[in-house]
């Protein structure tokens, strides 16, 4: 468990520190992380799968829309070139 919930920024900072020599090794970084809050999923598997399926459907709809708009734009440009 980590105290710091923003691990993306922390990871980037750790990598930058390693790259610049601020820290010598990963072992030094291991001592910086201390235990924090533990997040445990409470959602039922069926509900999680239902929501995930809906999310995937939404992403597919959006990517299909982008694809159609790119094709329309391409055809429009070809037509009036």
**Locus of tokens 């072992």:** 27
Lowest pLDDT segment from 2-6, 13-17, 73-77: 2-6
Those residues with Cβ within 8 angstroms of residue 33's Cβ, 6 or more apart along the chain or in another chain: 2, 3, 4
Look at 6 and 57; give whichever has higher pLDDT: 57
What's the pTM value of the predicted model, to 2 decimals?
0.44
4 has a pLDDT exceeding 60 = no
pLDDT single digits (tens) 12-69: 888 999 999 998 988 888 877 666 677 788 999 999 999 999 999 999 998 898 888 8
């Amino acid at each position: 468990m980590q105290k710091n919930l923003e691990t993306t920024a922390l990871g980037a900072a750790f990598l930058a520190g390693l790259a610049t020599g601020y820290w010598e090794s990963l072992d030094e970084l291991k001592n910086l992380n201390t235990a924090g809050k533990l997040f445990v999923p409470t959602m039922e598997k069926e509900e999680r799968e239902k929501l995930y399926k809906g999310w995937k459907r939404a992403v597919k709809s959006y990517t299909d829309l982008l694809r159609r708009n790119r094709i329309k734009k391409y055809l429009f440009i070809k037509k009036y070139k």
